[in-house]
Amino acid sequence: MRNTVTPIDPVALTADLIRCNSVTPAEGGALVLLEGLLTSAGFSCTRVDRGGIANLFARWGRPGANRSFGFNGHTDVVPVGDIAAWTHDPFGAAIVDGWMYGRGATDMKSGVAAFAAAAIDFIRQTPPDGAVILAITGDEEDIAADGTVALLDWMAANNEQMSVCLVGEPTCPNVMGEMMKVGRRGSLTAHFTARGVQGHSAYPHRANNPLNAMVRLMDKLATHELDTGTEHFDPSTLAITTIDTGNTATNVIPATCRATVNIRFNDCHSGASISDWLRAEAAAMQAATDIQFGVTTTISGESFITPPGELSALVAKAVQAETGVTPVLSTSGGTSDARFVKDHCPVVEFGLVGKTMHQVDERVEVAQIHHLKAIYSRILADYFA
């Protein structure tokens, strides 16, 4: 006989999570709230805190089950910015005209609430032959070194395994159901320092201006075609994000100039190959100008693809059934914690419309939260059928 326990309301849970001031890296009570809810529903919960970051691992079912479905998400949020510009309290979860306002409403407390509610209802109503795992971090919006990575490290050390994983990030540009992510581009940030000889601007021959060399180098990088795209990826992109000297004088040629570029790269490249190319270009400019160049790179993640197959078909079928929309399989957008999960198990991403994430007056359509829970519930039912 099925359990008739009252279903978890994902809208109320989203509101409760928004009211937790969990601006990264603060936990803000969000994971404490989820741990209490999941524990009361029969999940085995473990806090996997590391480096001052709070993380939560929750499993229903026996460890080492022959199959396990995992959800991954985060409860940390970006800062609110100018609070005076908000129409509603960013931690108030006000519902106005069918929309819930608050920091994290879209990215991604609604997603966490939807999959937590779906998981709890599912194991109560139709306990599966297998395990349901929730891996929730408080460090996705920052450097992410001690968030999902810490959870995966702990899982490996404790013989915990997800067979497949769905990351609940917002994935739809405009319409609920229109897009899911089966991969992501890699991301690399490079910092350049150019050192020349300071001098008077009236006597440029007595100086060696690092700005001239830096501008030439930045133009060469920005106009270079990295590639034309691949089967699953758009062309790689390079954006100059700053060129700076800190020079406030109009009649002084500075000795030093700095610049930063960010590159989003597809599977034609690796972080190492991009780094090698940038250093080679800087070395060539140094040889041509006698300006000394230094280059440091930070790789936030490599590109990856989960080839279309059983997992993407499972998710797409559930989305189509609940929304009437067949999602496009995409690798667009920035990075997510799927870049870490892909080394553990096959992973895809599906979530809400993300148009207002990180904005002032971030908000989510209340009806979408219910839709998302229904989609996640169907995915679980179909996976364990």
> Hey, what are 380's tokens?
């679980």
**Which distant-in-sequence residues (6+ apart) come within 8 Å of 318 by Cβ?**
375, 376, 378, 379, 382
Residues 64-85 have a mean pLDDT of 96
What b/e readout covers 227-237, taking b as 16+ CB neighbours within 10 angstroms?
A: eeeeebbeebe
| Predicted confidence (pLDDT) at residue 100 exceeds the cutoff of 60 | yes
Domains of the chain in start order, with CATH, are 10-184+304-384 (3.40.630.10), 186-301 (3.30.70.360)
Instruction: Report which of 5, 367, 352, 362 is spatially closest to residue 180, judged by C-alpha positions.
Output: 352
Q: Which of 27, 35, 76, 337 is catalytic?
A: 76
> Hey, what are 308's tokens?
């279309």
| CA distance linking residue 6 with residue 149, whole number of Å | 35
Identity at 248, one-letter amino acid code? T
Residues 209-218 have a mean pLDDT of 98
Q: What is the mean pLDDT of the chain?
A: 96
| CA distance linking residue 19 with residue 113, whole number of Å | 13
| CA distance linking residue 364 with residue 143, whole number of Å | 26
Vertex 24: Cα angle to 21 and 26 (nearest 5): 55
> Hey, what are 21's tokens?
């001031």
DSSP code of 288?
A: H
Token pair 């999940």 is found at: 43
| Predicted confidence (pLDDT) at residue 3 exceeds the cutoff of 70 | no
| CA distance linking residue 221 with residue 238, whole number of Å | 8
Q: Which of 140, 322, 337, 365 is catalytic?
A: 140
| Predicted confidence (pLDDT) at residue 194 exceeds the cutoff of 80 | yes
pLDDT at 236: 97
pLDDT at 57: 98
| Predicted confidence (pLDDT) at residue 87 exceeds the cutoff of 90 | yes
pLDDT at 334: 85
Q: How confident is the model at residue 296 (pLDDT cuts 50, 70, 90)?
A: very high
Residues 230-234 have a mean pLDDT of 94
Q: How confident is the model at residue 5 (pLDDT cuts 50, 70, 90)?
A: confident
Q: How far is CA 36 from the centre of its chain?
A: 25
pLDDT at 333: 87
First to last CA, the chain: 18
Residues 58-78 have a mean pLDDT of 95
What percent of the chain clears pLDDT 90, i.e. is strictly above it? 97
What is the tens place of the pLDDT at every residue in 358-383? 999 999 999 999 999 999 999 999 99
Inter-residue contact 31 to 96 (CB < 8 Å): no
Q: Any catalytic annotation for residue 76?
A: yes
pLDDT at 309: 95
pLDDT at 1: 42
pLDDT at 4: 65
What is the tens place of the pLDDT at every residue in 309-356? 999 999 999 999 999 999 999 999 888 999 999 999 999 999 999 999
What is the tens place of the pLDDT at every residue in 103-154? 999 999 999 999 999 999 999 999 999 999 999 999 999 989 999 999 999 9
Phi/psi at 330 (5° precision): -125, 155
Token pair 């297998």 is found at: 130
Cα-based distances in Å from 288 to 3, 6, 203, 282, 291: 75, 72, 21, 10, 8
> Hey, what are 78's tokens?
């970006």
| CA distance linking residue 261 with residue 210, whole number of Å | 17
Q: Any catalytic annotation for residue 153?
A: no
Residues 273-300 have a mean pLDDT of 97
| Predicted confidence (pLDDT) at residue 212 exceeds the cutoff of 80 | yes
